[in-house]
Amino acid sequence: MVKKAAERPVLITTQHRGVFFGYATDTSDSTVVLTRARNVIYWSADVCGFMGLAANGPTSSCRIGPPADIELRDVTAVVEVTPSAVERWNAAA
């Protein structure tokens, strides 16, 4: 039986200035498939940048797009998302 890789929550940036939260099984290439991906349209200064989004999640003043399954190309960074940040991502409106 082949063991399926586990999904893990990640924040991804791209060469095209995209910032996305979602769940990935393989992040070893410059193209990454994300399920339940959320696009960061705007984040406020209190978040402290994209690393803050991974560490703490979005705040109420951030603008987050709805979830979708996507394939991202030209990935520049993959950041692990903390469990507490995952809760905030999943609750983001």
Per-residue pLDDT of 47-93, as tens digits, reads 999 999 999 999 999 999 999 999 999 999 999 999 999 999 999 97
Topology given in CATH for the domain delimited by 8-91: SH3 type barrels. (2.30.30)
Sign of the four-CA dihedral 45, 47, 50, 51: positive
* Residue 85, Ramachandran bin (φ over 0: left; ψ between -120 and 50: alpha; else beta): alpha
Per-residue pLDDT of 6-50, as tens digits, reads 999 999 999 999 999 999 999 999 999 999 999 999 999 999 999
Q: How confident is the model at residue 2 (pLDDT cuts 50, 70, 90)?
A: low
* CB count in 10 Å sphere of residue 58: 23
Q: Domain-by-domain residue ranges, the chain?
A: 8-91
Q: What is the pLDDT of residue 93?
A: 75
Strand spans (E) along 1-93: 8-14, 19-24, 32-42, 63-64, 68-72, 75-80
